[in-house]
Structure 1
Amino acid sequence: MESGKIEKLLERYDEGKTSLAEENILREYFLNGEVPEHLRSYQLIFMFSAKQKNETMERSPWVRSAGTKRNWYSWTSIAAILIVALGVFFFNDSSRELNENDLGTISDEELALEKTKETLNMVSQFMNEGKADLVYLKEFNKTKNKIIQID
């Protein structure tokens, strides 16, 4: 077969645009004939694919069948349920419940007022930071309305 036609087919093969018939032509060319030196790498590719086509893989002993896998999943789900149940039963510690003594009450009214002001100021700062990001959302809605022409 002429070298020019094979090189055009190889270009299409490299781009992934060949049909199965064209690939069979290439395979036959590289497996059954004398190949020019600059195309030896393609010959190796087609020889390797032909060799791999005839090989079969034996079933590995550590691969389970579908029934065993399903059985394994059911046992792991039962084990997970048992672990969660035992965790809830044994680690449900009643000493962690809140007592009236643990509420962190402040007996001094002025100190309590100052702590409350500090807490509310901190919450206000976080709210204002979140509000600053809403300006971008407002601008986005204006632009969207112009595009959709809702205004």
Structure 2
Amino acid sequence: MESGKIEKLLERYDEGKTSLAEENILREYFLKEDVPEHLKSYQLMFMFSAKQKKETFENLPDVGGSKGNRYAWTSIAAILIVALGIFFFNDSSRELNENDLGTISDEELALEKTKETLNMVSQLMNEGTADLAYLKEFNKTTNKIIQID
């Protein structure tokens, strides 16, 4: 095929005005071995496109992302189950009957039980404040150091 016709087709190709038949003519021309030196860059381009056209994918990537969707729906279902469980099962434990309260009918016995309970709370509080003595010593030492500087 004459070089002038190929160059005109290349100009039209560069402008995007060629038909598919004309592009096939160009592709067939550039797949030959004997191409002029000034058109070698086009030969590389058409050889690459011919090679890409022959390639096929055997294992197509998973576009749908089914694992991601499954994970999202599983998470949503778990959240709903937990929320419904908290709402329905925890609500029944809030109802208290008068029989559930530990009532004592004898006033003196109730007073003794109250004193015992308050004494126990007081002992626990005193145990917690005993450790604060070390903290007071630490603060005194810190204040001395700060006043020296």
So what's the TM-score if we normalise by structure 2?
0.48
- Which structure's CA Rg is the greater one? 2
